[in-house]
């Protein structure tokens, strides 16, 4: 029997990936049999509505209490609630993994062994000095504190957690805001602090270098920090880069250098608006090539999109409010193990706010097998065919598909009845 996949649609039934899709009215006629279906057969082992067709899962957690900046007084980063962000982080990793506590969620994401190193790639594109007191958008300290808190909860010592943005400076303000004093920092030039290190890059003849598809044969030279690390967490920002998206793939643009080209020259090989030397950027794209380097591709365990603040219009100006969030700040964190899928979802938010953005990099990365690219049907419904996207609003909690998943597991364990599962499913359908 096919696994039932719920989606609010007009009153008709159709196939999606070989699964039956019911209208709300049709489905309610079947809810009485759902619990028995799962209890009786082998489908009890399948997470309900979790990975339909093995689609990559993307979670977003929204909490309007995360920030309260008035855009008049001081800097935006002075108005972030660390406790709220910590809870958003915990809820996000648990939702992504299906685990019921923080430590187990982190353990399931990162197969950490004693002595290994976890590197966190942040985005400090607007950090050009060691001061750091500016309103332009960069990775928020509170987001990184919440990640560190999660990692230490699973037993990772602070000195085995590294923070890096190789092409920029990690400012004194950023370091001063990190709550764990044992973290190490790796970036372009040393500012201050005993745990601050300047980065180096591998040589062109190193086995750790990789080769670009366009410009063909160009050597991609990753920073040594990624070579020496065992696990990687990528933390892109919810922002535009002007005409095109930046997000998870471009967050690694500063993670590497090149044998024969400067970083500025390489823009021609991922941005349609510039000379691309005849490359089809939807298939051959330097950003996809960078993310295909084994030290990035094979070590990435988690991507966390920092959308506490955002800018849908540019990458180098101040944060700004969003019309799609009622002229408030975005107050979002995104979670996925798929860098292309999470970028697709974040890009859809940006395009809902400002209009179309070039994103050939996502097409190329998907064609290379680096992840799944898709677009939602609308901002209102946020339905994807290829991505399992679950938005969770902590300010307006509803029954969601994860609640149904947990309900089915409880049924299997004997701690929930078929009636309770039916009621959970019915409340879900009434809320969408």
Torsion of CA 185, 187, 192, 193, to 10 degrees: 20
Q: Are residues 345 and 200 in the same domain?
A: yes
Q: Are residues 108 and 184 in the same domain?
A: yes
* 40 confidence band (pLDDT: 50, 70, 90): very low
Average pLDDT over every residue of 177-195: 87
Overall domain count for the chain = 2
The answer to whether residue 2 is domain-embedded is: no
Any idea which of 86-95, 249-258, 309-318 has the lowest mean pLDDT? 309-318
Q: Are residues 320 and 405 in the same domain?
A: no
The answer to whether residue 270 is domain-embedded is: yes
Its pTM stands at: 0.85
The answer to whether residue 207 is domain-embedded is: yes
CA 52 to CA 385: how far, in whole Å?
9
Residue indicated by tokens 């670009």: 212
CA 343 to CA 250: how far, in whole Å?
10
The answer to whether residue 8 is domain-embedded is: no
Q: Are residues 46 and 117 in the same domain?
A: no
Q: Are residues 42 and 174 in the same domain?
A: no
CA 29 to CA 23: how far, in whole Å?
10
What's the N-to-C CA distance of the chain in angstroms? 25
Q: Are residues 410 and 348 in the same domain?
A: no
Q: Are residues 409 and 305 in the same domain?
A: no
- Containing domain of residue 378, as a range? 56-386
Q: Are residues 74 and 171 in the same domain?
A: yes
Any idea which of 186-195, 325-334, 363-372 has the lowest mean pLDDT? 186-195
Average pLDDT over every residue of 352-373: 94
The answer to whether residue 9 is domain-embedded is: no
The residues near 124 (Cβ < 8 Å, ≥ 6 apart) are: 138, 139, 165, 168, 169, 170, 171, 174, 187
| Tokens matching residue 422 | 């039916």
Q: Are residues 240 and 297 in the same domain?
A: yes
The answer to whether residue 170 is domain-embedded is: yes
The answer to whether residue 392 is domain-embedded is: no
Give pLDDT, residue 54: 83
CA 266 to CA 221: how far, in whole Å?
13
Give pLDDT, residue 226: 98
Q: Are residues 273 and 327 in the same domain?
A: yes
The answer to whether residue 334 is domain-embedded is: yes
- Model confidence pLDDT, tens digit, residues 138-173: 999 999 999 999 999 999 999 999 999 999 989 989
Q: Are residues 295 and 414 in the same domain?
A: no
Any idea which of 74-88, 240-254, 336-350 has the lowest mean pLDDT? 240-254
Q: Are residues 413 and 304 in the same domain?
A: no
- Model confidence pLDDT, tens digit, residues 49-75: 334 458 999 999 999 999 999 999 999
Give pLDDT, residue 241: 79
| Tokens matching residue 176 | 């001063």
Percent of the chain scoring above 70 in pLDDT: 84
């Amino acid at each position: 029997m096919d696994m039932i996949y719920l989606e609010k649609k007009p009153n008709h039934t159709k196939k999606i990936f070989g699964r039956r899709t019911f209208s709300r009215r049709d489905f309610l006629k079947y809810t009485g049999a759902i619990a028995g279906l799962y209890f009786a057969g082998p489908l009890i082992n399948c997470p309900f509505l979790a990975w339909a067709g093995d689609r990559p899962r993307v979670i977003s957690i929204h909490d309007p209490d995360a920030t309260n900046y008035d855009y008049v007084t001081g800097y935006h980063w002075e108005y972030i609630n660390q406790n709220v962000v910590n809870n958003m982080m915990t809820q996000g990793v648990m939702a992504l993994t299906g685990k019921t506590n923080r430590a187990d969620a982190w353990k399931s994401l990162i197969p950490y062994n004693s002595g290994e190193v976890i590197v966190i790639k942040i985005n400090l594109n607007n950090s050009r000095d060691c001061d750091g007191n500016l309103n332009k958008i960069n990775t928020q300290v509170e987001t990184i504190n919440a990640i560190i808190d999660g990692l230490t909860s699973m037993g990772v010592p602070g000195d085995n957690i590294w923070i890096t943005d190789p092409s920029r400076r990690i400012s004194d303000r950023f370091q001063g805001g990190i709550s764990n004093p044992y973290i190490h920092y790796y970036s372009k030039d040393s500012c201050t602090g005993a745990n601050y290190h300047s980065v180096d890059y591998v040589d062109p003849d190193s086995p750790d270098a990789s080769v670009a598809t366009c410009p063909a044969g160009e050597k991609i030279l990753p920073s040594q920090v990624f070579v020496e690390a065992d696990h990687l967490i990528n933390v892109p920002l919810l922002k535009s880069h002007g005409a095109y998206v930046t997000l998870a793939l471009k967050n690694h643009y500063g993670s590497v250098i090149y044998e024969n080209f400067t970083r500025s020259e390489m823009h021609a090989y991922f941005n349609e608006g510039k000379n691309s030397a005849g490359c089809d950027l939807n298939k051959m794209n330097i950003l996809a090539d960078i993310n295909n380097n084994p030290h990035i591709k094979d070590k990435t365990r988690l991507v966390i999109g920092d959308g506490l603040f955002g800018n849908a219009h540019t990458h180098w100006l101040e944060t700004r409010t969003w019309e799609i969030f009622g002229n408030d700040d975005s107050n979002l964190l995104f979670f996925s193990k798929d860098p292309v899928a999470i970028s697709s979802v974040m890009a859809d938010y940006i395009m809902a706010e400002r209009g179309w953005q070039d994103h050939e990099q996502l097409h190329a990365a998907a064609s290379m097998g680096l992840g799944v690219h898709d677009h939602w049907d609308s901002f209102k419904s946020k339905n994807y065919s290829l991505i399992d996207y679950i938005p969770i609003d902590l300010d307006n909690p509803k029954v969601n598909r994860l609640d149904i998943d947990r309900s089915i597991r409880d049924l299997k364990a004997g701690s929930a009845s078929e009636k309770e599962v039916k009621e959970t499913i019915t409340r879900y359908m009434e809320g969408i």
